[in-house]
Amino acid sequence: MNFELTKEQQMIKEMVREFAEKEIAPNAAKWDEEAYFSIEIFKKMGELGLLGIPFPEEYGGAGGDTISYAVAVEEIGRACGGTGLSYAAAVSLGASPIYYFGTEEQKQKWLVPMAKGEALGAFGLTEPNAGSDAGGTRTRAVLDGDEYVINGEKCWITNAGHARQVIVTAVTGKDDKDKNIISAFIVPTNAPGFTIQCNYDKMGVRASNTCELVLENVRVPKENILGDPAKGFKQFLYTLDGGRISIAALAVGIAQAAFEKALQYAKERKQFGQSISKFQAIQFKLADMAMEIELARSMVYKAAWLKDQGKPFTKEASFAKLFASEAGFRICNQAIQIHGGYGYMKEYGVERHLRDIKLMEIGEGTSEIQRLVIARQLGC
Ligand SMILES: Cc1cc2nc3c(=O)[nH]c(=O)nc-3n(C[C@H](O)[C@H](O)[C@H](O)COP(=O)(O)OP(=O)(O)OC[C@H]3O[C@@H](n4cnc5c(N)ncnc54)[C@H](O)[C@@H]3O)c2cc1C
């Protein structure tokens, strides 16, 4: 594995950084305050080709690799955690499952507009009573002639309020061990009986759109089933493995933003006649922060590289997500500490990073679930 970004990856990093610093960062505090999801920014990201980075050109994408995509997530997250979350969810959860498991027809119909940035997609797995334990899904889909009839509820679904379609998981039967068979369906958001409400008042990632879904006798054609109907569970596990790389990259971006603010502030703030960066206690915090960011980023690149090589990456994606989110939380917390009382004030922008990064320890599998995944990979 090459530990330097290639020229192409470096170019993407610079391009996304410039875009995010100009178009996203100046609005981040306002979007956070107003819990505003900017569809305009997604249109611009679409025009730049960011929504199609990891998809082949034949499907409207840029033909880039997972490292390039992770680099883009990091840079957007550095500017705004909420926009970063919606970007990561659009690509990893909305579009990727169709690329991985869709038929050619589904790819043309649903993936191409997303990769071109002309439409957004969402992924509805979580339910009020089925979070970490997705096997406990209660949403049901019953075949009726040439259509499936879906009934159920989903919660906290990213981007659903602006999506053209949501991939919804639903129970379609029982296997020979009496376990639920879970399938995935592509459900257009304008289908009759499909209600989407986006009224959550979130602690962080407030620029991201998060919605509750209710499906009442929603009918979709049989051909909207995604992939193998009996392997919906395996499919979303694979989808989440990929998504975890992007959540880890997002944590790195948010932590990087908090670190940069803390470093600058430490050099400027004077107490006891000198910059606080001259105090060893502050220097050690900054040293730990810089080290943990670099370690987390390296793990993100490694997991992404393994995925691109077609090698197993489940364990490494969990390593990356677990370490980046927990280290990122420590880093954002210390960034506030370095700012003292000013860090506690919204004006300085560091408290937003702590609120935003907390989600990284919860979404796409909590830290506890990451430890379970890793332990299973160790053969426990
Ligand atoms: C802002 C936001 C956006 C989201 N976006 C999406 C989305 O786009 N699509 C989607 O499907 N979901 C989404 N989610 C849902 C998210 O993935 C879940 O919140 C997460 O998987 C945890 O589920 P839960 O909240 O039900 O917690 P629970 O599963 O109820 O867990 C509660 C606590 O118990 C612990 N726990 C549970 N089981 C175990 C165990 N076996 N061993 C040890 N500890 C355990 C957990 O780690 C946690 O600490 C989003 C959530 C948020 C907050």
Ligand 1 mean position, distance from CA 280 (Å): 39
**Residue from 126, 237, 371 whose mutation best tests the ligand 1 pocket (most atoms within 8 A of CB):** 126
The dotted CATH code for 123-230 is 2.40.110.10
Please tell me the predicted confidence (pLDDT) of residue 89: 98
C-alpha 240 – ligand 1 centre gap (Å): 12
**Ligand 1 centre from 1 Cα, in Å?**
33
**Range(s) for CATH 1.10.540.10 in the chain?**
7-119
- Ligand 1 midpoint to CA 127 (Å): 9
Region 52-63: mean pLDDT is: 97
Q: What is the pLDDT of residue 1?
A: 59
In ligand 1, the atom with minimum distance to the C-alpha of 364 is: 17
d(CA 93, CA 37): 18
Residue nearest atom 11 of ligand 1, based on CA coordinates? 125
Residue 157 CB less than 6 A away from ligand 1:
yes
pTM: 0.98
Q: Does ligand 1 have an atom closer than 6 angstroms to the CB of 131? A: yes
Catalytic residue selected from 40, 153, 364, 368: 364
From the CA of 158, give the closest atom in ligand 1.
8
Residue 327, pLDDT score: 98
| Residue 54 pLDDT | 98
- Of 78-92, 220-234, 274-288, the poorest mean pLDDT is in 220-234
110 CB contacts (<8 Å, ≥6 apart)? 98, 102, 121, 164, 165, 186
CATH of domain 7-119: 1.10.540.10
CA distance 172 to 176: 13
Is the CB–ligand 1 distance for residue 89 below 6 Å? yes
Q: Summarize the confidence of residues 41-63 as an average pLDDT.
A: 97
**Mean local confidence (pLDDT), 239-249:** 97
Does residue 129's CB lie within 6 angstroms of at least one atom of ligand 1? no
**63 within ligand 1 shell (Cβ under 6 A):** no
Residues of the chain with CATH 2.40.110.10: 123-230
Q: Please confirm, yes or no, whether 260 is among the known catalytic residues.
A: no
Determine whether the shortest distance from the Cβ of 170 to ligand 1 is under 6 A: no
Secondary structure in 3-state letters for the chain: CCCCCCHHHHHHHHHHHHHHHHHHHHHHHHHHHHCCCCHHHHHHHHHHCHHHCCCCHHHCCCCCCHHHHHHHHHHHHHHCHHHHHHHHHHHHHHHHHHHHHCCHHHHHHHHHHHHCCCCEEEEECCECCECCCHHHCCCEEEEECCEEEEEEEEEEEECHHHEEEEEEEEEEEECCCCCEEEEEEEEECCCCCEEEECCCCCCCCCCCCEEEEEEEEEEEEHHHECCCHHHHHHHHHHHHHHHHHHHHHHHHHHHHHHHHHHHHHHHHCEECCEEHHHCHHHHHHHHHHHHHHHHHHHHHHHHHHHHHCCCCCHHHHHHHHHHHHHHHHHHHHHHHHHHHHHHHCHHHCHHHHHHHHHHHHCCCCCHHHHHHHHHHHCCC
Q: Report the mean per-residue pLDDT for the chain.
A: 97
Tens digit of each residue's pLDDT (9 = 90 or more) over 124-180: 999 999 999 999 999 999 999 999 999 999 999 999 999 999 999 999 999 888 899
Which CATH number fits the domain 234-377, given the four candidates 1.10.287.90, 3.40.50.150, 3.30.420.40, 1.20.140.10? 1.20.140.10
> What is the spatial distance between Cα 358 and Cα 363, in angstroms, rounded to a whole number?
9
CATH 1.20.140.10 in the chain: give the residue spans. Answer: 234-377
CA torsion through residues 114, 120, 124, 126, sign: positive
Q: What is the pLDDT of residues 308-345, one digit of tens each?
A: 999 999 999 999 999 999 999 999 999 999 999 999 99
Task: Say which range, 174-178, 264-268, 346-350, has the weakest mean pLDDT.
Answer: 174-178
Q: How far is the CA of 353 from the centre of ligand 1 (A)?
A: 20
The pLDDT of residue 2 is 58
Residue 205 pLDDT: 98
Is the distance from the beta carbon of residue 158 to the nearest atom of ligand 1 less than 6 Å? yes
**% of the chain residues with pLDDT over 70:** 99
Q: Whose C-alpha lies nearest to ligand 1, atom 26?
A: 131
How confident is the model over 199-234, as pLDDT tens digits? 999 999 999 999 999 999 999 999 999 999 988 889
**40 CA → ligand 1 middle, Å:** 29
